[in-house]
Amino acid sequence: MTQPNVVVLFPDQLRAQSLPIYQSIYGAQQIDTPNIDRLARQGVTLDNAISNCPVCTPARAMLVTGRYPQTTGHLINTTRTRHSEISIADAFAHQGYQTGWVGKWHLHTGLWPALDRMPQHPDWVPEGRDRLGFQYWRAYNQHMVYFDGFVNKDDWNYERWQGYETDGLLDYAFEFMDQAADNPFLLFVSPHQPHFTPFKFAPEKYYQQLPAELILPINVPPEKVLVAREMYRHYLAMTLAVDEMLGRLMDYLEAKGLSDNTILVFASDHGTQAGSQGVNPWSKKNPYDASVKVPGIIRQPGKIAAGSRSAQLVNMVDWFPTICELAGIPVPRSIEGHSIAAGLNSSGFDGVNNAAFLMNFSKYFDWFQNGAEWRGIRTRDYLYASWLSGREELYDLTDDPMQMKNVYADPDQKQSLAQMKELLLEHQQKRHDQLVQCTDWKHWLDDQRRVVKNAFGELSHPESTPDWSLLH
């Protein structure tokens, strides 16, 4: 059998709570997602896929490098990846794979936000190690132009796609796979949807599929209902666009005879509050499931049982080694995550992770500003969060999956609280992490927002060469 291809569809800000495949956990949903459901019937659905740091750049860095923010230095958005980081593209290219990235990157410094104009040069991602080994490049660092938007190609020049982003990016994805021919390939496709944009959100056809009146989740308080309902309408319309994108991708793989030998992964970098817990509707950066619980589906015909589910805890750093193991690719020694591949076909397998370490470093998206620092720990049964402000929260996820009742002060939860605090301390110590004001981390970056220090000490020059021996 030839080496399997790998395709990862990685939409931005898609939360598990809004998808019908998770209604057994969170209740009935407002939309139908026939293609996400179709993929779930063909593969394994992960019930506990977690975004450890629910912010775009930190989460994406974890996905691509398999390392935590305390190591990569990606604590906030719009920081530049060190050239020495070994990526999943490096691991696959080393084994003869063609590699490609299509869509949003957000691991460079860039000009944020580049909105309704052609971006200036700081927003493009130059060739070389800033692309971390991805060979085919039809990507942008960060912008919010969903209609007739633009990608950076082989140099600083840009090319516009025609129409809506989910359709435009698929054209590039198909181009890459057509060019790969009989060579095995690794492809990441990352649409910005269903993320916020200040402009037009989605084509009208998706709004027509929504119910006349949306019913918001029960954890949206009354004072947030009006603004949350309008936001949620746009969010769900964009989610439907992602669902159709997935369907077209699956149809392409089937039409080209690639489906049986392609590992197809569907996941996201983080969720969004959408008014849940009374938080700003477009906000993430919170320890609650609306922010940290992401969808996860893996299909590998003949290897993964169709229509199965896994309760394993999956950290964002676990995707890299898991995909490697499924494809038969050696896992680089730089990896901090763990492969969950061994347990995907075993309902009794308890997994390699006892908990997911959660974190947020900054109040706002791009600049170090104090005010929202917290750390948390999540098991399959409990969520505990400790804020720098002194606030503490504990939720019993079995009885309260929507996290509506903080049982931190409940005497019946005293033992569980102590266990969760111990787990959090254990994970913080392992990562050399400290819950401090976010401005204390500024010295990790130079004036170009390149990472020059991490939790373990001073680092080599940010454009230093990788230690390729870690691939062997």
Instruction: Please report whether residue 198 resides in a domain.
Output: yes
Question: Same domain, yes or no, for 331 and 372?
Answer: no
Is residue 472 included in any domain, yes or no? no
- Is residue 244 located within the same domain as residue 386? no
Same domain, 265 and 138: yes
Residue 283 lies in a domain: yes
Q: Domain check: are 152 and 253 in the same one?
A: yes
The CATH number covering residue 194 comes to 3.40.720.10
Contact 439, 368 (CB under 8 A): yes
Residues 27 and 151 both lie in one domain: yes
pLDDT band for position 117 (cuts 50, 70, 90) = very low
- Residue-range definition of the domain harbouring residue 47: 5-343
Which pLDDT band holds residue 121 (cuts at 50, 70, 90)? Answer: very low
In a domain, 285, yes or no: yes
Residue type, 240: L
Q: Is residue 471 part of a domain?
A: no
**Are 194 and 313 part of one and the same domain?**
yes
Domain identity same for 210 and 178? yes
If pLDDT is split at 50, 70 and 90, which confidence band does 364 have? confident
Sign, Cα dihedral of 326, 330, 332, 333:
positive
**DSSP-based three-state secondary structure for 117:** coil
Q: Letter for the amino acid at 192? A: H
Please tell me the pTM assigned to this model: 0.96
Q: Which position has the higher pLDDT, 78 or 165?
A: 165
Do 407 and 311 reside in the same domain of the chain?
no
Instruction: Tell me what the pLDDT averaged over the chain comes to.
Output: 93
With 90 as the cut, is the pLDDT of residue 47 above it? yes
Eight-class DSSP state of 18: G
pLDDT on residue 123: 65
Judge whether 26 lies within some domain.
Answer: yes
Query: What Å distances lie between residue 297 and 28, 96, 230, 377, 387, CA to CA?
Result: 19, 26, 29, 23, 32
Is the domain of 224 the same as that of 173?
yes
52-92 pLDDT, tens per residue? 999 999 999 999 999 999 999 999 988 899 999 999 999 99
In a domain, 349, yes or no: no
pLDDT of residue 199: 76
Among 70-74, 135-139, 345-349, 358-362, the minimum mean pLDDT is found in 345-349
In angstroms, the CA 75 to CA 65 distance is 14
The number of domains in the chain is: 2
- For residues 335 and 367, membership in a common domain is answered with no
- Whether 15 and 122 map to the same domain: the answer is yes
Angle, in degrees to the nearest 10, between helices 225-255 and 165-180: 20
Q: Which long-range contacts (CB under 8 A, 24 or more apart) does 408-412 make?
A: none
CATH number for position 432: 3.30.1120.10
Q: What is the phi/psi pair of residue 358, to 5°? A: -110, 150
| Amino acid 111: pLDDT | 53
Whether 76 and 54 map to the same domain: the answer is yes
pLDDT tens for 189-248 read 999 999 987 778 999 999 999 999 898 999 999 998 988 998 999 999 999 999 999 999
The mean pLDDT of 331-341, rounded to a whole number, is 97
